[in-house]
Amino acid sequence: MSELHKFLFEGLPVRGMLVRLTDSWQEILRRRQQAGGYPAAVTELLGEMAAAATLMQANIKFNGALILQIQGDGPVKLAVAEVQPDLALRATASVTGEVAADAPLSHMVNVNNQGRCAITLDPKDRLPGQQPYQGVVPLFGDRHEKLEKLSEVIEHYMLQSEQLDTRLVLAANDQVAAGLLIQRLPLQGESNLAGAGAMARDEDQIGRNEDYNRIAILAASLKREELLTLDADTILHRLFWEEDVRRFEPQIGAEGPRFACTCSRERVAGMLKSLGREEVESIIAEQGQVEVGCDFCGAQYHFDPVDAAQVFLQAAAQPPVAGGTH
């Protein structure tokens, strides 16, 4: 069963999380099998993304969807992992060419160093006109060197967006997607509430806090096979047996990470409305109906001529919304 573990290092400005996606990750892959499955390297990348997105969502406790996207100019055009506030997750990737079993990140999405990683926070109850927040970082480092690990890309993002040191260890195969996150805490609560002086002192700590550096080095010693095969208790004991670690009740089952898709017939109908009546009618004239498949869960939605007409009749019958926002 998939599980999320949170812990603190007593007396130190360091917190950690460990996620292991098992049944939820296997369900994502099982649904993709109907479309032929993913190459091994893509499975590994998407699993690492699912683990990383789960850790980030649990870390910030955001009331909305956290969406992690990687896109570029390689055979993997787009990879997406989305996690809801209750840790319901889904993930998918669009693959258009051959991907070698051992293909590194740059070969999959960053051939010409134009790849990007985007993290979007989409509020659950968006106000009229409110847009999701999105942060974007390139798939290269400070010297324009290609980054070959998703963990390095996200560490770079966290340092830029939060000015906090973060160590991330990720691993995935076709059975397990797992991740360990270690992060230095701000000196005084929320830095944006602590004043400019506290923020400046916090930035001065980047890379220099000895306690964080020691724990980050221990975390980085975790090997891929250990992360994939060992249970959380064994991993935390092996890494931090000399530290005073305070652990919280693990989140599992209905409280933990699990697969769920937010697609629905109503959402597909909304997408058809956005295409416009003329476009939808041309599809029906050519194919007899409109078929839409969900890339995340594989669900198929069919709209025959009567269904499609109903979509636009309902749209015409709806009163206009103030401000033109839908």
Concatenate the DSSP letters of all residues of 263-319 into one string. Answer: --HHHHHHHHHHH-HHHHHHHHHHHSSEEEE-TTT--EEEE-HHHHHHHHHHHHHSP
Q: Which of 39, 50, 37 is nearest to 75 (CA)?
A: 39
E strands along the chain, which residues? 3-9, 14-21, 64-71, 76-83, 88-95, 116-123, 133-138, 166-172, 177-184, 245-247, 251-252, 258-259, 290-293, 300-303
Secondary structure of residue 34 in the 3-state scheme? helix
Residue 291 forms beta bridges with which residues?
302
Assessment of whether the complete model's pTM goes beyond 0.85? no
Does residue 195 register a pLDDT over 90?
A: no
- Averaged confidence pLDDT in the chain: 84
Which segments of 16-139 does DSSP mark as H helices, in order?
A: 23-32, 40-60, 105-109
Question: What length does the chain have?
Answer: 326
Q: pLDDT of 266-318, one tens digit each? A: 888 888 888 877 888 888 888 887 888 778 877 788 888 888 788 777 655 55
